[in-house]
Structures are given as C-alpha cells and as structure tokens.
C-alpha cells in the first residue's frame, strides 16, 4: 500500500466532537503514541492504544465507526491506518499528528497535574 492509497486528513477535518471528552459513536479518535507521550497531552475523548498494541487490542475498536488515527507527527499513525484498513476498518491518518493538533489550537488534556502539551 502506497501513501496515495492511505487516506489522510488535516487536523481541521477531524470532527469537533473530539474537542470534548465524549466522542460520538460514529467516529473515534485513536491515539497510537507511547504511554509517556499520551500522559503529556492528548485530545479529549481519544482512545489510547500504543501502536505496538493495536493488533492485540483491535477488539476494542468499532468496525462501524470512522477511525481517525493520530500519533505525534503522522508516521506511526500512517502505518496503523494501513493495517486497520487491511483488516476492514474505515480508518484515516491525521496528517501532522498531535503536533499539528496543538498548533491548530485544538483542545488538549493531560494525565496528572501539569499543563497539557505536545512539544
């Protein structure tokens, strides 16, 4: 599968429902970054499954939902989208990842008592 065969969208095309902590059932934001990256900051309502765990945890995802897959800058999420598409999911890569998310001013939350930040 080539880059032209993997669907990608800019962060401003990701539904605003992810700007709250309760995403709708029709779309899911899947964050595939490592635990330490997630703890520093992530999108409200995102589902966290590190890239290496996706095959083992695929049952946690909804085949009927549009999956927006994000990582730090787009490389890992691109690979995860290739895999998910191959096994039947409707998945798209979020171009620019969480760096672009923060630059666009989209909301962030963090685990712990520190301000959320990606970079």
Residues recognised as catalytic: 71
Question: What is the dihedral sign for C-alpha 15, 105, 102, 35?
Answer: negative
* Eight-state DSSP code of residue 70: E
Quick one: which H or E segment has residue 8? Answer: strand 8-9
Half-sphere exposure of residue 32, counting CA atoms within 13 Å on the CB side? 29
Give, in degrees to the nearest 5, the angle at Cα 51 between 49 and 91. 80
Distance CA 100, CA 52 (A): 23
């Amino acid at each position: 599968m080539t880059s032209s065969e993997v669907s990608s969208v800019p962060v401003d095309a990701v539904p605003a429902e992810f700007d709250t902590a309760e995403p709708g059932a029709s779309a899911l934001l899947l964050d595939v970054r490592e635990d330490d990256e997630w703890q520093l900051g992530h999108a409200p309502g995102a589902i966290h499954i590190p890239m290496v765990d996706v095959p083992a945890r695929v049952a946690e995802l909804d085949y009927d939902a549009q999956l927006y897959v994000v990582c730090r800058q787009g490389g890992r999420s691109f690979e995860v989208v290739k895999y998910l598409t191959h096994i039947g999911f409707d998945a798209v890569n979020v171009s620019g990842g969480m760096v672009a998310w923060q630059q666009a001013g989209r909301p962030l939350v963090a685990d712990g008592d520190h301000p959320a930040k990606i970079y």
